[in-house]
């Protein structure tokens, strides 16, 4: 994987986190949490898809489909675990 591909797709993972924050709202701490979850979920999904050989929707050297799916799962779990009890 090239450095430009890594940087571009890292931005995609960060974009997922910021879009999730715009949708669900929250403070700056939540924004940081969602950005980190979106970014880490994207790369975990990419490497997990390669390891398990579940590859769909390739975009260059990145398994974009699996990365997107795992990133959304990370964001949903982070939101669910981070909910405040009222």
pLDDT above 90 coverage of the chain, percent: 56
Residue among 81, 59, 67 at smallest CA distance from 39: 67
> Does residue 52 sit within a domain?
yes
Residue range(s) defining the domain that contains residue 70 = 3-81
Phi, psi (degrees; rounded to nearest 5) at 63: -80, 85
- Domain total of the chain: 1
> Does residue 31 sit within a domain?
yes
Q: How confident is the model at residue 55 (pLDDT cuts 50, 70, 90)?
A: confident
- Single pTM value for the model: 0.87
Q: For residue 85, what pLDDT is reported?
A: 60
């Amino acid at each position: 994987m090239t450095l430009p591909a890594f940087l571009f797709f890292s931005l995609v993972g960060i974009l997922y986190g910021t879009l999730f924050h715009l949708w669900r709202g929250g403070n700056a701490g939540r924004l940081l949490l969602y950005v980190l979850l979106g970014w880490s979920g994207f790369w975990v999904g990419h490497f997990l898809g390669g390891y398990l050989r579940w590859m769909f929707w390739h975009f260059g050297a990145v398994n974009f489909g699996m990365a997107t799916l795992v990133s959304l799962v990370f964001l949903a779990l982070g939101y669910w675990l981070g909910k405040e009890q009222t």
